A = this chain, B = another copy of it.
Amino acid sequence: MSKPKTVVGVLPPRIEISKQDDFDAWYNEVLNKGGLVDRVEGVAGFVMKPPSYFLWESIKSYLDRTLKQIGHENHHLPFALAADPDSYGKRENDASDFPTNEDLIYTYCRKWIKSHHDLPLRINHYSSVSRSIPQCLPFLQNSEPLQQECHTFHLTERDAIAETGRMLDLYTSLYRDLLAVPVVNGRTRSKDPMTGKHSNTTILCHIPGECQWIEAATCQEWGQITSKKYNITVDNPDAERETSPPLRMWHNTYRLSSSAIGLTLALHGDDRGLVLPPRVAETQVYIVALRVPSLAERQRLDLALDDLVTCLSAVGVRVIADRKENASPGMKLHQWVIKGIPLFMDVGQQYIDNNIVTVRRRDIYHAPESKIEVNTSDIQTTVPALLEKIQEDMYHKANDDFHLWKPDIETGEYVLEDQ
């Protein structure tokens, strides 16, 4: 092996634009430099690199667990392409003849719901959707969001309304517990032209830097519109006579998209880069060996890295030890800060002398209390507790800011629900 090369004259990467000054430019910069997305020239859309795809997988896994608890089943839909393109559209020169995703799902639900015994029906799927909007901000405003969409069919309006309550709670918990993002229940101010109802219910999130309210998830109550259009009916279970007319279903849809990732990154990030909530950070702890004077000490540190990784992995911590020698510990520190990894651990002379390592918190990186010395014998309890503390502190910090902005909501496109 050749000797490690000393890197001379390379400046550590840093974020050039302030979140407050130009939100869009800042957001693009932190996502690129933080290693979350990549763009390839000439291609619309963007690559979700492992740390951002890990966020989506965490969200899916949370949704999956909680949706199954309330009775959802997952299925998979094909693209709604016509089997014979000539038989649609061209024939009558009318594009509305072409089957939509809605045609597909409701035609299929009609077959599924054969009797009131099949209700409530709850089905969920994950998909990517294609939208004809320009590619501006990854996740927040992009042409190919990933999404979770579920449909429920109920026998009574009361059941349908109760379901919306459950789903709002589910989405709220997901944002609070997993993404450390505070949200509030609201609804759009305008009347929905389809349902004629005053508005759709939604949960709202606020990004201070951007000064705008964003829908974090959407809940739509379609009433009996779908059942009427697609002729989805069941027998009346309470009917006295056989001749009693069939009943129409009450139908709701619920959606959460990969904009949840964008909201999380935009809310927590700062002028140094990304700040990832520990529960959804692919790497929670980043260990790096500091420089030590002798080769014997270096070898001892290398073994220490192995031990620390084994110890932390054993208690479920997602940890990486950086053994590469092509960058200084200082360069690595900068990369770690930009990538938003919750905890950074340096292992050096202190470890050799006293079995002590230094951990640094990303969320309060500027504060003196961000730097904590930990005895390696306590590492299996201290580090997981610290990660939980960071998760909690990030939520509380965001929630404090959130309450400052909350009054604004009534003046915009949305109104708050009674809390």
Interface residue? A208 (CB, 8 A): no
Q: Which of A38-58 touch B at CB < 8 Å?
A: 38, 40-50, 53-54, 56-57
- Please report the C-alpha to C-alpha distance between residue A85 and residue B335 in the assembled complex, in whole angstroms: 36
Q: Which of A56-110 touch B at CB < 8 Å?
A: 56-57, 73-84, 87-88, 99, 103-104, 107-108
- B324–A144 touching, CB < 8 Å: no
Size band of the interface chain A makes with B:
35 or more
- A47–B79 touching, CB < 8 Å: no
Interface residue? A12 (CB, 8 A): no
Q: How distant is A231 from chain B, measured CB to nearest CB, in Å?
A: 14
- Please report the C-alpha to C-alpha distance between residue A123 and residue B54 in the assembled complex, in whole angstroms: 13
Return chain B residues, CB-CB under 8 Å to A38: 108, 111-112
- From B1, B88, B144, give the contact of A78 (CB < 8 A): B144
Interface residue? A350 (CB, 8 A): no
Interface residue? A400 (CB, 8 A): no
Interface residue? A310 (CB, 8 A): no
Q: Interface residues of A: mostly helix, strand, loop or mixed?
A: loop
- A78–B43 touching, CB < 8 Å: yes
Query: Are A75 and B47 also in contact (CB < 8 A) when A83-B42, A87-B42 are?
Result: yes
Q: How distant is A134 from chain B, measured CB to nearest CB, in Å?
A: 9
Given A43-B80, A43-B81; 10 other pairs, CB 8 A cutoff:
A2-B240, A40-B103, A40-B108, A44-B78, A45-B81, A47-B78, A48-B76, A73-B282, A79-B130, A117-B326
